Structure 1
Amino acid sequence: MGKGQELYKKAKTMIPGGTMLLSKRPEQHLPEHWPAYFSKSKGCKVWDLDGREYIDCSMMGIGTNTLGYCNEAVDAAVMEVVKNGNMTTLNCPEEVELAERLIELNKPWAGGVRFSRAGGEANAISIRIARAFTGKDKVAVCGYHGWHDWYLSVNLGEDDALAGYLLTGLDPAGVPRGLHNSTLPFHYNKFEELLEIVNHNDLAAIKMEVSRNMEPNDDFLNKVRKLATERGIVLIFDECTSGFRETFGGLYRKYGVNPDMAVFSKTIGNGFAISAVVGTKEIMDAAQKTWISSTFWTERIGPTAACATLKEMERVKSWEIITEIGKSNKERWQALADKYGIKILHKGIPAIAFYFFDSPNHLAYKTYVIQEMLKKGFLANTCMYTCIAHTPEILDAYYEALDPIFARINDFENGGADVMKFLDGPICQTGFARLN
């Protein structure tokens, strides 16, 4: 057993759940064998606590590092801040620079910005502002928007309401029951479902991801925009995951549908904690009507990292690079599947693409992929969050390593062998299914 697994066993005795993030739990990847902790990283390489080097062809910091780990331009800006001080009684000028940059990127509709340090809290801020602006309480949602009470309250009914919609089996323990029916879920591309909610509820906001696993059809986004405008509902696009992956800014730009507010996180700091709520000036000014304030939202590293990240993204046109890599990944995964007669399904925009084995044994096959790729020096899953450090040479090596694994899965599928006899530990746990 490696040092990472030993430390994780210790962590579970003190940290409920073992880690702060579900997606980083070793059980989500390779139970009993995942390295769990890192000692250093660079580009798309990660070293574990035993000094073993891996190429990260999985989730790249859970989607945060599109410029790769330890990007020199971003880190140089941050190190200068560290030397000169991160927190004082006065404010940092970088937050003004970042606000100006984000408003410029979201013209013509944007007029105000508020910052926080995590995607979930930025989503909660957007809901607070929308409620303050409209004087209404209820919210319709489509997508994943974090862990806060306003969102998890969807599960306060008699049934597991998010099961089949979004997050299966989440217990809303600790969420006040008075929030029941304050947040109402609808399915992506199901406009009539949203219309039914709007017709029977006085909504403050419609909050949704622009796109994740499927493209909008039947003019869906334009219909939502028109409905929100006609009914005086604030339209919020959650771009925490989708932002700066297909465009230099929000994914909404691809479809030409402007929101009233947009939430950005993950990519804009390239691994440093920063998130932003951008909105029209009229709506954002409603933040003054309520109480939204936190000491560490004023620290200097986050906005400094974001300013440097945006400059580097624009210089290299990172969104174009990672999208092209993602398109190629989908083609090469499918080519391997076709080569060995395996049925797979694809989901996600190219830069955060997933594939799924269309088989009752899909979780066992996923575990086998993770296990065997780890042995070959890859942090791999049935997905790849692309970054600019994923060079053609690295990707060629990744597919060369994946080829015989797909060949063996064909053998499993056709009864030539039992996959369970080839696993070194338990099957990985499922994450959660997303609404769209």
Structure 2
Amino acid sequence: MDEKAEPAREQPTYTLAQYERAKQLIPGATQLLSKRAELFAPEQWPAYYTEAEGATVVDMDGNEYVDMSYMGIGSCVLGYGDEDIDTAARNAIDNGVMSTLNPPEEVELAETLVEMHDWADMVRFGRPGGEAVSIAVRLARAYSGDETVAFCGYHGWHDWYLAANLEAEENLEDHLLPGLDPKGVPQSLEGTSVPFHYNEIEELEQIISENDLGAIVMEPIRNEQPEPGFFERIREIADEQDAPLIIDEITAGFRENIGGYHQKLGIRPDVAVYGKALGNGYPISAVVGREHVMDQAQESFISSTFWTERIGPAVALATIEKYRSENVHKHLIEIGRSVREGWEGAAERHNIPLHTSGIDPLPHFSIEHNEGQAAKTLFVQEMLKQGYLTTDSLYASYAHTPEMITNYLDAVDTVFETIGTALNSGTVLQQLNGPVAHTKFERLN
């Protein structure tokens, strides 16, 4: 596939038909909320691919796009179909993916991860990221003997996390999406998970005044930098409560450094959890931690057949090796910074009230206007016509080249001109070829 995609001229009829079929066969249409077409451009977003290579994707109708959006929801940091990583996977397949015995690669990967974290002693592996955070929470509660988890940020779909909405349905609104109904989560879990906001240390102080903590779970960063003293006090509270501090690196990890963003911030947690970038699209997650917490796995039953397959640890080793040899994080920072600056420049030229945030490799924007969500939908729609999968966020990839960024930002400038004119004339909705993108979790049919 070429570096620069040709504009998509055909309406993706097969792709859209497949999505309509999915709605009848798969509740919610997709396995992952973030891949719902309704979150991008309903009735227009090409939900299915037949081929992905580098930073390009081909849909079911043969339309080729440059992916300037989520790159496998942040999992393909090296790009789609990276030959070095795929070779590691093929070798694992050739040598047998599963047997009655264990793959030795998991020991090598554990050694590698412990060496990368001078505060850590042991590792357990999972496959999905949310599953790994649940493992970490179980271990922390087993160690502390207390149930209450104070958390900040997004940490998956499992009962321990959604239990926050049993007490108040808006508890998770600032941590992922509104509309997350905890239906099916046992009512007995009410009060066991309590949210606090990033940089709002007084909220955590209030939680500990009312509860004995079993764990503190948080992302090291997402939209803003920590204020001075924030994480120092977090660490003090964890020690005072004897509640393990769990840092969720599933999104931030391996973006601005080789390892976790907590290392860049100087945080010394009790547990760090990795996923997404660890396997470049192959399922592998890791729970890295101090012995006194990790050893609880010998007391609490935590076990799964498919945590012992070979491909995950084999590709994780290859991925870490490539991050190191190619200084991938430096490329991600440069790409993300260029895109952010490009968005801001185009918005200024075309009088769009744009706000950008996020770390350099994971920039995102919002259009600060009462028709901002419709304008975002128009952006996605018009960029599809230019041959790009894009949205209001970018997960920078090693496969993104400077030429791609130049071409992408040229297209952004053209589309932002259209959006600026539409916002000024109040015609954004009239220019949409489908509904406005969803902003919350909701039924599709």
TM-score normalised by L of structure 2: 0.95
| Counterpart Cα distance in 2 of 1:154 and 1:335 | 40
Tell me the CA shift for residue 254 of structure 1. Answer: 1.2
Identify the residue that residue 67 of structure 1 maps to in structure 2.
78
Cα contact 1:57–1:384 (8 A) shared by 2: yes
Which of 52, 60, 74 lines up with 1:41 in the alignment?
A: 52
| Poorly superposed stretches of 4+, deviation over 4 Å | none
Q: Tell me which residue corresponds to 2:357.
A: 347
Higher mean C-alpha deviation, range 245-254 or range 154-163: 154-163
SS in 1 for 2:25: coil
Structure 1 CA distance for aligned equivalents of residues 17 and 276 of structure 2: 29
- Which of 171, 177, 191 is the matching residue for 1:167? 177
- The answer for unaligned runs of 5 or more in structure 1 is none
Q: Is the Cα–Cα contact under 8 Å of residues 58 and 65 in structure 2 kept in the other structure?
A: yes
Give the whole-Å Cα distance in 1 for the aligned partners of 2:89 and 2:172: 40
Indicate the SS of the match to 1:204.
Answer: strand
Question: Matched residue of 2:73: which SS?
Answer: helix
Q: Distance in 1 between matches of 2:40 and 2:421?
A: 23
Find out whether 1:285 has 2:295 as its counterpart: yes
Q: Does 1:332 align with 2:342?
A: yes
Q: 2:332 aligns with which of 322, 325, 344?
A: 322
Map Cα deviations across residues 134-171 of structure 1 (whole Å, 9 max, x no partner).
11111100000000001100011254332345431111
**Residues 178, 440 of structure 2: 8 Å contact kept:** no
Residue 19 of structure 1 is matched in structure 2 by: 30
1:185 aligns with 2:156: no
Match of 1:254 in 2: 264
Partner of 1:28: 39
Q: Secondary structure at the match of 1:114?
A: strand
1:112 and 1:199 map into 2 onto residues whose CA distance is 32
Distance in 2 of aligned mates of 1:362 and 1:201: 40
Per the alignment, residue 433 of structure 2 pairs with 424
Report the alpha carbon displacement of residue 4 of structure 1 after superposing the two structures with TM.
1.2
Q: 1:82 to 1:424 in 2, by over 3 A?
A: same
In structure 1, what is the equivalent of residue 141 of structure 2? 131
Match of 1:357 in 2: 367
Shift of 1:362: 0.9
- Is the Cα contact below 8 Å between 1:326 and 1:386 reproduced in 2? yes
User: Are the structure 2 counterparts of residues 385 and 166 from structure 1 closer, same or farther at C-alpha, using a change threshold of 3 Å?
Assistant: closer
Q: Map residues 18-167 of structure 1 onto 2, 5 A cutoff.
A: 18-107=29-118, 109-164=119-174, 166-167=176-177
User: Aligned letter for 2:332?
Assistant: I
Match of 1:408 among 418, 425, 431: 418
State the percentage of identical aligned residues: 47
Question: 2:177 touches 2:439 (CA, 8 Å); kept in 1?
Answer: no
Q: For residues 69-113 of structure 1, what are the alpha-carbon distances to aligned partners after superposition, in whole Å with 9 as ceiling and x for unaligned?
A: 111100001011112210111110111111111111111x10010
**Which residue in 1 is equivalent to 2:245?**
235
Q: Deviations over 1:19-47 (max 9, x none)?
A: 00011011111111111111111110111
CA distance in 2, matches of 1:167, 1:372: 25
Could you list the per-position Cα deviations for residues 207-250 of structure 1 after superposition, in whole angstroms to 9, with x for gaps in the alignment?
Answer: 00011001001321111112211221210100000000011100
Asked if structure 2 preserves the Cα contact closer than 8 Å seen for 1:140 and 1:207, the reply is yes
Which residue of structure 2 aligns with residue 383 of structure 1? Answer: 393
Deviates more, 1:158-167 or 1:174-183: 158-167
Give 2:223's aligned amino acid: N
Q: In structure 1, how many angstroms separate the alpha carbons of the residues matched to 2:167 and 2:240? A: 30
Matched AA of 1:198: I
Which ranges of structure 2 fall in alignment gaps of 5 or more residues?
1-11
CA-atom RMSD, angstroms? Answer: 1.2
8 A Cα contact 1:141 1:183, kept in partner: yes
Q: 1:2·1:35 contact (CA, 8 Å) conserved in 2?
A: no
Residue aligning to 2:3: none
SS for the counterpart of 1:140 is strand
Q: 3-state SS of the aligned residue for 1:414? A: helix
Counterpart-to-counterpart distance in 2, 1:159 and 1:88? 45
Alpha-carbon distance change, 363 to 115 in structure 1, aligned in 2, over 3 angstroms: same
Q: Which amino acid aligns with 1:173?
A: K
